[in-house]
Structure 1
Amino acid sequence: MKQIQMKHNMQAVILAAGKGLRMRPLTETTPKTLLPLNGIPLLEHILEALPEEIQEIFLVVGYLKEQIMDRIGGIWHGKTIHYVVQNPLDGTGSAIHLLKQYLHERFFILNGDDLYTKKDLERLIAHPLAILVSPTKDSITFSALADETGLFAGFESNAPSHEIKQRVCGAYILDERFFRYPLAEITVHNQKEYSLPHTLVAMSRDCPIKLETASFWQPVGTLEEYELAKNNCHKYLTKT
């Protein structure tokens, strides 16, 4: 896939609305994205990792949103911050659709509870459309599939345990064409949600989406992952 010339004043969406139920009791009074790593809230690490091309940021908030808004404010290191409230919390696809009228051309999407490096995000932004993935031997529900040219080709469910699988890292480069496709509905913990990555399966049939491999990625979705993130924070800082 041909790389493109960088464009300034790009937009980014950071998904930070969740309740962090798997991280109780830490998240009973603090939103997950504000939990500290090396003395700095997780969300601020994510903001610091954004490429310089990003000048406008939309934070999708919900649970304990006032804490996030008070901490980050309306300007972050010269970048404009907007807030959009997601209610109900019905999936990442729905969260992006809240911003349909505001997102133009290409835009970044990031989870608000994962550690990324600036170098990886800069490599991601070099592609017209892309998904960041991380190889794992762990058991995961869905593994991203690549064709012979490294383009996204859908998901494999419950891949064999001995196989190397590609876990989606929650970082994407998309454009306005995303909104042409019906949101894919999935079931998570017996609740229906509208999934961003599964919607991309239909989009990928018409639009080539590159799979880009992360050099470092640390999700922070459980208490165990939070401990790993604290222990691995020095690796993240040296790779940023």
Structure 2
Amino acid sequence: MDALILCAGKGERLKPLTENRPKPMIPIAGKPILQHIIDKIEDLVDNIYLIVKHKKENIIEHFKDHPKVKFLEQGKIDGTGEAVLTAKNHIGDEFLVINGDIVFEDTLEQFLKYKYAIAVKEVSDPKNFGVVVLDDKNNVIEIQEKPENPKSNLINAGIYKFDRKIFELIEKTEISKRGERELTDAIKLLIKEENVKGIKLNGYWNDVGRPWDVLEANKYFLDKIKTYISGKVEENVIIKGNVIIEKGAVIKANSVIEGPAIIKKGSIVGPLAYIRPYTVLMENTFVGNSSEIKSSIIMKNTKIPHLSYVGDSIIGENCNFGCNTITANLRFDDKPVKVNIKGKRVESVRKLGVIMGDNVKTGIQVSFMPGVKVGSNCWIGASCLIDRDIESDVFVYKKDELTFKKLKNKN
């Protein structure tokens, strides 16, 4: 049996993190979302087909040496149905289909028992998801798309079991109003002709669609790690809780590391740095003298050299922070931080810092207000307070007028 993972989407709600990488390549607990999925299924299937498109080179480079992984590029038409149809001439008789932007705890072995199946997950507020209605035998009888009045609290969890009949049904569907071919349209045809089992997922599941979903999933998986230290740890370093320090990482003198935390190879921490719980420092990062990082993901090759604070934030690759760069992460009124998502102002979580793209540079004494998004390739000049989102490729600076007055000669 084969597996098909849908990785072609642009991940608009996760911008600027997806400006230079596809959504499935965003790191959670030290490895891409897509790696988490492949780790779960690679022993169950013969081949893993990755449907790629947006920033496909990222995915291909990372998984090119995996013995079971093959790559198929989606054509001009977007949508999950078209993504599945891309594999028509390659895949076997029965196969799994998995959305490439979910993380989950449960095993998928139970899917192998059925010809047709959909994973469902119970949630408290299903309005923003595809709602699945089951009969008393757990067969799917209806799918509602983001209904105002949901008929159940079970949602489509983005994992499916099909045979080749699904290709015929996808080809019968019409392009949707948003210009996409939707897999759910084909499933609605399928449930009229076949028994499609609704399989309830146990344990953790997250549809990683917004920046705070990334941080939430990061916390969940960090809680599962066990201490493993193979990097260099200098004198007077304090390590508490479960911490992974990979070979090639260096923790300099008098630093404090509080787990759960992961520090990847090539990273340098300290001296006198403070790494607080739920932090991941990806490869070749640098957190320097008297800098503090808390509940954040710092991506590859980013430098936060000295006297800075980063809290509840996601910082892209190849960023460089000037001295005393600060991220605020909490409102005075303690209400959820508001964030711009696809043109709408939405509430997120109580604590959220900055969401930053790649290749951003800050000058000294730059501060970010909670929930601000900064696009890739920005420069932010000294002493700026950033209280709004910044598009990519922007230089932000302020002009202070200096007054020079000659002192009278006191002699």
1: CA distance, partners of 2:114 / 2:211:
34
Look up the equivalent residue of 1:99 and give its one-letter code: A
- Contact 1:51/1:118 (<8 A) preserved: no
TM-score scaled by length of structure 1: 0.84
Moved over 3 A (4+): 182-187, 234-238
State whether structure 2 residue 10 is matched by structure 1 residue 19: yes
User: What's the CA shift for 1:137?
Assistant: 2.4
* 8 Å contact kept, 1:130–1:210: yes
Contact 2:77 2:181 in 1 (8 A): no
User: Identity of aligned pairs, percent?
Assistant: 26
Whole-Å Cα distance in 2 between the matches of residues 237 and 167 of structure 1? 29
TM (normalized to structure 2)?
A: 0.51
Quote how far apart the aligned CAs of 1:35 are. Answer: 1.1
Q: Give 3-state SS (helix, strand or coil) of 1:224's partner.
A: helix
- In the aligned structure 1, how far is the partner of 2:104 from the partner of 2:129? 22
1:5 match:
none
User: Does the 8 A contact of 2:133 with 2:152 survive in 1?
Assistant: no
Number of aligned residue pairs: give it. 222
Q: 1:29 aligns with which of 13, 20, 38?
A: 20
Q: 1:160 aligns with which of 141, 149, 156?
A: 149
Q: Which moved more, 1:191-200 or 1:13-22?
A: 191-200
Secondary structure at 2:179 match in 1: strand
2:218 corresponds to which residue? Answer: 230
Displacement after TM superposition at 1:118 (Å): 5.0
Structure 2 vs 1, CA of residues 72 and 45 (structure 1 numbering), >3 Å: closer, same or farther? same
Q: Give 5+ residue unaligned stretches, structure 1.
A: 1-9
Give the 5 Å matches for 1:1-240.
10-50=1-41, 52-75=43-66, 79-119=67-107, 121-138=108-125, 139-140=127-128, 142-157=130-145, 158-160=147-149, 164-181=152-169, 182-185=171-174, 187=176, 191-215=178-202, 216-234=204-222
Distance 2:59 2:15 in 1: 18
User: More relative contact order in 1 or in 2 (CA 8 Å, sep 6+)?
Assistant: 1
Judging changes above 3 Å, is the alpha-carbon distance between structure 1 residues 23 and 32 closer, same or farther for their aligned structure 2 residues? same
Distance 1:124 1:237 in 2: 27
Cα deviation, residue 180, structure 1: 2.4
Unaligned runs of 5+ in 2: 227-411
User: The residue matched to 1:58 in structure 2 has which SS?
Assistant: strand
Greater fraction helix: 1
Question: Is the CA contact (8 Å cut-off) linking 1:137 and 1:164 kept in structure 2?
Answer: no
> Structure 1: how far apart are the matches of 2:143 and 2:224?
28
Cα separation, partners in 2 of 1:191 and 1:236, compared to 1, 3 Å: farther
In structure 1, C-alpha distance between the alignment counterparts of 2:13 and 2:90, rounded to whole Å: 32
Listed one character per residue, the Cα deviations across residues 100-122 of structure 1 (whole Å, up to 9, x for unaligned) are 11122110100111002352x11
Change (3 A) 1:227 1:186: farther
Quick one: distance in 1 between partners of 2:180 and 2:118?
A: 20
TM-aligned CA distance change 1:235 to 1:118, over 3 Å: farther
SS at match of 2:193: coil
Deviation at 1:125, TM superposition (A): 2.3
Deviations 1:86-140 (A, max 9, x none): 1325111111111111122110100111002352x11222222110011122123
Cα distance change, pair 109–236 in 1 and its aligned pair in 2 (3 A): farther
CA distance in 1, matches of 2:104, 2:112: 13
Q: Encode CA deviations 1:127-173: one digit per residue, 9 max, x unaligned.
A: 22110011122123531111221101121351526x64211111101
Q: Which amino acid aligns with 1:33?
A: P
Matched residues in 2 for 1:234 and 1:127: separation? 33
Residue identity opposite 1:43 in structure 2: L
Shift of 1:74: 4.2
Rate the CA distance shift 1:205–1:51 in 2: closer, same or farther, 3 A: farther
Q: Which amino acid letter does the alignment assign opposite residue 18 of structure 2? A: T
Q: How big is the alpha-carbon RMSD for the aligned residues of Structure 1 and Structure 2?
A: 2.2
Separation of aligned partners in 2, 1:33 and 1:93: 18
- 2:106 and 2:38 map into 1 onto residues whose CA distance is 10
Q: What SS class does the counterpart of residue 232 from structure 1 fall into?
A: helix
Deviates more, 1:107-116 or 1:195-204: 195-204
